[in-house]
């Protein structure tokens, strides 16, 4: 019996031939980052190495007679096995170092300093990345996460000559900032970005002399939220670009993440002391 020129046997053979295909490779996206001048490289993303997932076709979708044995890889085709300890996050090349810095910093959840990704490590790294706007906050310990964690964990708050009142401290070398009151840290340390090459933010001791919730910058034609000026045209303000893009830097101002800019505004007032020391790498 035929139908439009095709035999039943020919149709059956066509169906068997078209069922199933195998294998896929997946590379998760990388995050933008870098802090320039000796910090994380500009434009470097959190590089993610994909895992080749080579699997046989779905055997349930075909009759037993049509199942095929997956081909044995040749010598020039390497299949990377999946790690035995499956987690929600990929493991980064700086896993052990980031675990160590997060354990030292505290406040991000339990981590095990063993260089192996786990679900608790993943959750702690994600929380850290979210706090400091490291994109994407995927829990992978890549170059930018490592750089930020190292800078924060090695910041020595005792180096700032705080005095008795509110003092804003900026470590230009590590690109970190914190606030002290009466010799006690009341906020931070957190990340910042100061002047790039040609616009280096100068070290020294100053005082906030003007504040405005939203200041307009005439030379750069941009709004500066939570503006607190302390030296000429230099002051604190919320960053207007991705803070970790250190290649563009600032024109001398001390850039802050949105949440930190609000907190610095709440703690500051005209007359508050500002202490900057060190020198940003590359300036």
Q: Is 202 exposed, middle or buried (0-12, 13-18, 19+ CB in 10 A)?
A: middle
Chunked into runs of 10 residues, the chain (283 residues) has average pLDDT values of 42 36 33 40 42 39 46 43 64 98 98 97 98 98 98 97 93 98 94 96 98 95 97 96 91 97 98 97 92
- Distance of alpha carbon 112 from alpha carbon 242, whole angstroms: 30
**How confident is the model at residue 169, as a pLDDT?**
98
Instruction: Please state, in angstroms and as integers, the Cα–Cα distance from residue 175 to each residue in 36, 246, 266, following that order.
Output: 11, 10, 21
Sequence-distant (≥ 6) Cβ neighbours of residue 92 within 8 angstroms? 46, 98, 117, 140, 141, 142, 145, 146
For residue 276, give the nearest of 132, 117, 167, 184 by alpha carbon. 167
Predicted local distance difference test score (pLDDT) of residue 36: 38
Instruction: Check the CA dihedral 248-97-107-84 and report its sign.
Output: positive
Contacts of 282 (CB under 8 A, 6+ apart): 36, 37, 38, 196, 197
Residue 207, sorted as left (phi over 0), alpha (psi -120 to 50) or beta, turns out to be: beta
Full-model pTM: 0.71
Please tell me the predicted confidence (pLDDT) of residue 213: 98
Backbone angles phi, psi at 121, to 5 degrees: -60, -45
The pLDDT, as a whole number, for residue 133 is 98
Other Cβ atoms less than 10 A from the Cβ of 263: the count is: 18
pLDDT for 46: 56
Residue 187, beta-bridge partner list: 179
DSSP helix/strand/coil, 225: strand
What is the structure's pLDDT at 167?
Answer: 98
Tokens 């001390």 correspond to 254
- Per-residue pLDDT at 163: 83
pLDDT at residue 247, rounded to an integer? 83
pLDDT given for residue 246 in this prediction = 80
């Amino acid at each position: 019996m035929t139908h439009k020129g095709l035999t039943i046997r020919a149709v059956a053979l066509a169906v068997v031939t078209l069922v199933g295909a195998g294998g896929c490779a997946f590379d998760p996206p990388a995050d933008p980052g870098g802090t320039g001048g000796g910090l994380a490289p500009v434009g470097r993303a959190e590089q993610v190495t994909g895992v080749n997932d080579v699997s046989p076709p779905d055997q349930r979708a075909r009759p037993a007679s049509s199942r095929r044995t997956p081909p044995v890889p040749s010598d020039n085709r390497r299949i990377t096995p999946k790690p035995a300890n499956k987690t929600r996050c990929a493991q980064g090349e700086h896993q052990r170092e980031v675990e160590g810095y997060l354990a030292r910093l505290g406040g991000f959840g339990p981590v095990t300093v063993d260089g192996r990704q786990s679900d608790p490590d993943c959750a702690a790294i994600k929380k850290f990345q979210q706090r400091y706007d490291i994109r994407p906050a995927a829990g992978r310990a890549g170059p930018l996460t490592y750089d930020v964690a190292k800078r924060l964990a090695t910041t020595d708050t005792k180096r700032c000559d705080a005095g008795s009142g509110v003092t804003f401290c900026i470590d230009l070398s590590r690109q970190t900032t914190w606030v002290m009151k009466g010799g006690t840290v009341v906020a931070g340390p957190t990340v910042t970005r100061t002047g790039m090459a040609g616009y280096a933010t100068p070290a020294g001791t100053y005082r906030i002399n003007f504040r405005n919730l939203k200041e307009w910058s005439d030379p750069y034609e941009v709004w500066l939220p939570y503006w607190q000026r302390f030296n000429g045209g230099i002051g604190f303000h919320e960053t207007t670009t991705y803070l970790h893009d250190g290649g563009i830097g600032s024109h001398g101002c001390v850039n802050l993440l949105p949440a930190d800019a609000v907190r610095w505004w709440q703690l500051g007032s005209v007359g508050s002391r500002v202490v900057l020391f060190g020198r940003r790498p590359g300036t």
